[in-house]
Structure 1
């Protein structure tokens, strides 16, 4: 049997405007600027999605927290710790 093919993400050439001194220093240090930029953008997207989810679900979270404060944890009597 052959191993399942792992598909690589499609890469798209993109123009970015970066601080020239920072770019020069990164290249001198052997940093892969494209991969570093991609990692930074991925982290920003992740953070934005988390913040958006928390905003969209704030009422449900507050309601759940209020319930637990008033009634304790559901099924707490079954905890073994």
Structure 2
């Protein structure tokens, strides 16, 4: 059974607020011709942008720890590698 992710479910239940967005005229025309819900498409695109930006920030904030971990593995190998069955 497929279920919506918690973030997606929260977005669906969230209170909506009107806003103004400027779009390129050709994009808006094509979207309307294809019966695309502009609000839903914008919300989905912004949610993806938020997710990407959070991932970028997390990587930047944890870069030093990641590099340290990679250096340890490069020097000493994977911890518990002797016990791997594959």
- TM-score category by the smaller chain? 0.7 to 0.9
Rounded to whole Å, the distance in 1 between the matches of 2:36 and 2:26 is 14
Aligned to 1:37: 42
The number of residue pairs the alignment matches comes to 76
Aligned to 1:26: 31
**2:58 equivalent to 1:58:** no
**Normalised TM-score (structure 1):** 0.87
Structure 2 residues without counterparts, runs of 5 or longer: 1-8
List structure 1 runs of 4+ shifted beyond 4 angstroms. Answer: none
Rounded to whole Å, the distance in 2 between the matches of 1:11 and 1:77 is 54
Q: Deviations over 1:16-36 (max 9, x none)?
A: 011122112211110001000
Rounded to whole Å, the distance in 1 between the matches of 2:67 and 2:17 is 41
Aligned to 2:6: none
Aligned to 2:85: 80
